[in-house]
Amino acid sequence: MPKNQNYRANVPQKPQIYAQTATVTGPAGEEIYTDNYGRVKVQFHWDRAGKQDDHSSCWIRVAHPWAGMLALPLIGQEVVVDFLDGDPDQPVITHRVYNALQIPPGNLPHTMTKCISVQRPTKATATTASCLTMPPMMNCFINTQSGIW
- Per DSSP, the residues of 41-110 read EEEETT-SS--SSTTSS--BEE--SSTT---PPPTT-EEEEEEGGG-TT-EEEEEEE--SSSPPSS-TTT
45-55 pLDDT tens trace: 999 988 989 99
Is 8 among the domain residues? no
Share of the chain above pLDDT 90, in %: 50
- Give this prediction's pTM: 0.77
Same domain, 20 and 75: yes
Same domain, 33 and 90: yes
Is 26 among the domain residues? yes
112-145 pLDDT tens trace: 877 877 776 666 777 778 787 777 777 887 888 7
Residue 149 pLDDT grade (very low, low, confident, very high; cuts 50, 70, 90): low
User: Which range marks the domain in which residue 110 is found?
Assistant: 104-149
Looking at the 3D structure of the chain, how many domains does it have? 2
